[in-house]
Amino acid sequence: MTLTVQFETMLSMVLMGIWIGMAVDTYSRFIHEKRKWHWLHFLNDLMFWLVQALLVFYVLLHVNHAEIRFYIFIALICGYAAYRALFERIYKKILEWMVSAVTSLFRFLYRLLNSLIVMPIKWLVMLISAILLYVLNILRKIIMVLFMILFSPFKWVGRLIWRFIPKQKWYNLKEKYSKLAGFFISAKNKVSNWKGKKK
């Protein structure tokens, strides 16, 4: 391994140490912030460190054909320590600013879509529903009028036929009841008269 390759390897590992520090802070910001321990966190941590190890191996593969030396780990630790000492506060401020900017952008887009698309569609649906109800009400009234017009001749014919049907006495229940009541009243009077003559 030449001196140039060793220098490139050291510089790459220092940068990868800085990258790992940034990745750890980003991962903690989105995954572990204000959350209790859970078995899913263990799986997330395992996947995170596997990804970081694969990234380091990928960089080594391109720089020195994945030849591992002791100074590689020293360079990683130095890069991580440099991040913690020099760049941690700046990166966290930038990260929070980016999170706030993205959140504000999503809120703005949500309100914009809600104002330009969702609300007009909602009002359009309400307007169409009101128009349909109004049209259905008019159609119902028209159908009722047509129904009355169509069945009016049958009603008139029925009344005419009913007028010419001879009315039998047994149809008149009121007259029948009156005769029956008169019969009982006359019978009662006759019994009362008979008792009075007997005395």
The one-digit pLDDT tens for each residue of the chain (199 residues) are: 677 777 888 888 899 999 999 999 999 888 765 555 667 778 888 898 999 999 999 988 888 877 788 888 898 999 999 999 999 999 999 999 999 999 999 999 999 998 888 888 989 999 999 999 999 999 988 988 888 888 777 777 777 776 666 555 444 555 655 666 666 677 666 656 665 555 5
* Among candidate residues 56, 33, 55, the one with its CA nearest the CA of residue 44: 33
Element (H, E) at 103: helix 88-113
**CA distances to 4, 10, 16, 71, 182 from 50, in Å:** 29, 21, 14, 21, 113
pLDDT tens digits for range 132-176: 999 999 998 898 888 888 877 777 777 777 666 655 544 455 565
∠ at Cα 81 (75, 82), nearest 5°?
85
Q: What is the pLDDT of residue 115?
A: 87
Q: Is 13 exposed, middle or buried (0-12, 13-18, 19+ CB in 10 A)?
A: buried
* Sequence-ordered list of residues with C-beta below 8 angstroms from that of 19, at least 6 positions apart, any chain: 55, 79
AA identity, residue 28? S
The whole-angstrom distance between residue 85's C-alpha and the CA centroid of its chain comes to 47
Where helices occur in the chain by DSSP H, the ranges are: 3-27, 39-64, 70-82, 88-113, 119-164, 173-198
Buried b (16+ CB within 10 A) or exposed e, 166-183: eeeeeeeeeeeeeeeeee
Query: pTM score, two decimals?
Result: 0.57
Q: What is the pLDDT of residue 169?
A: 46
